[in-house]
Amino acid sequence: MTDTATEIKKTIDANDVVLFMKGTKEMPQCGFSSRVAGVLNYMGVEFSDVNVLADESIRQGIKEFSDWPTIPQLYVKGEFVGGCDIITEMTLSGELDTLLEQNGVTFDKDAADKIREANG
């Protein structure tokens, strides 16, 4: 493993939920990152954010690590979940709730239901 891949793995292993994104959860730098961070924030999910714009090696490294070409990338309990489209679909279908529940990640079920009602 490269140093970058080792660093990425350590971050993923050390946090239950990690979002590799452009910008930070307080100040996303792209619409896709903003959407995923917004869903997680709204649902009250505690997550670690990694700003790929701050480190080019991480920005490229995460794409190789996951074999996924785009940012943002969400990891839950060490597993790659997906990018913006996948997280959006999973939120609307309820699959994200199930994934979080199965992994013991706390979130606001009412908020998740409100997202579905608003987009139903």
What's the CATH number where 52 sits?
3.40.30.10
- 86 Cβ contact list (under 8 Å, min separation 6): none
pLDDT given at position 1: 80
How far apart, in whole angstroms, are the C-alpha atoms of residue 23 and residue 33? 8
For range 82-88, the mean pLDDT: 97
Tokens of 32: 């896709």
**Burial (CB count within 10 angstroms: exposed 0-12, middle 13-18, buried 19+), residue 12:** buried
pLDDT tens column, 5-50: 999 999 999 999 999 999 999 999 999 999 999 999 999 999 999 9
Residue 100 CA: distances (Å) to CA of 44, 51, 109: 12, 23, 10
pTM above 0.85, yes or no: yes
Mean pLDDT of the chain: 97
What is the mean pLDDT of the segment spanning 58-66? 97
Query: Above 90 in pLDDT, residue 120?
Result: no
Q: In 3-state terms, what secondary structure has residue 2?
A: coil
pLDDT at residue number 2: 84
Give the residue numbers spanning the domain of 78.
3-119
Total number of domains constituting the chain: 1
